[in-house]
Amino acid sequence: MSEIRVVVIDSDPLFRAGVAYTLNGEPDLAVVGEGTSASDAFRLAAALKPDVIVLDIGMLGGGAEAVETLVAHCSGVKLLMLTSIVDDQQVCSAMQGGAWGYVLKGVGGPELVQSVRVIHRGERYVTPALAARLFAKPRQPAPRAEQTPFSSLTGREDQILTLLAEGLSNKEIGGRLEISEKTVKHYLTIILDKLNVRNRVQAALLAYNRSNLVGH
């Protein structure tokens, strides 16, 4: 099994050493470089061509800007954000900018190792607790559909109006829908009221105009 070559970028030397120690403890992972800033990330990415770079958004030089630059110039490298920043907008921005994973500081060693392996094989990874919070956000209500004179009609009423526009009589409509002529008249009374028209001719004209608009 070939090793996954990793570079770790973090301004906290003690934390960075802990991450390197955890990753180096796995037979398929090897930390090949460490740094403290965005400039270190660019330099090590170009010189070592690692498979994965673990970096902090809050590092010196700007982590968000580093993501964009690394993605643009080091296409073979996958970026894993390991940070204490939990701002939802920052997470989305990093992922949309090209990062493959987002893990919060404080995760256990097994999850850190798993996240590196997951993004190395081409899959996205977000700390489960963070992903749950993001996806649990209530969705914005869908915009209300534009109201028309026909919006209040039931399915049956719309069927009858459509047949009326085709020129069918009450009896013919009843035969087509297998209901009585009396029932058709009852429905037509409701339809005229909902459409605010005086007679069946006006209702049929409205329905005819609607079908022409839809057709165009």
Most confident of 73-77, 93-97, 123-127, 135-139: 123-127
Q: What is the mean pLDDT of residues 128-144?
A: 61
Q: What is the pTM of this model?
A: 0.60
Q: What tokens appear for 185 in the block? A: 């008249």
Q: What pLDDT is attached to residue 111? A: 93
Give per-residue pLDDT as tens, 29-85: 999 999 998 889 899 999 999 999 998 877 766 666 678 778 888 878 999 988 776
Alpha-helical segments (H) within 8-154: 13-24, 38-48, 63-73, 88-97, 109-120, 128-135
Q: Where are the domains of the chain?
A: 4-135, 155-210
- The interaxial angle of helices 128-135 and 88-97, nearest 10 deg, is 100
C-beta of residue 86 within 8 angstroms of C-beta of residue 130: yes
For 148-168, what is each residue's pLDDT tens digit? 778 888 888 888 988 888 888
Domain 155-210, CATH: 1.10.10.10
- Contacts of 161-167 with C-beta under 8 Å, sequence gap 24+, read 161/191, 161/203, 161/204, 161/207, 162/207, 162/211, 164/188, 164/200, 164/203, 164/204, 164/207, 165/204, 165/207, 165/208, 165/211, 167/204
How sure is the predictor about 135, in pLDDT bands with cuts at 50, 70 and 90?
A: low
Other CB atoms within 10 A of residue 113 CB: 18
- CATH of range 4-135; options 3.30.70.580, 1.20.120.80, 3.40.50.720, 3.40.50.2300: 3.40.50.2300
**DSSP 8-state class, residue 49:** -
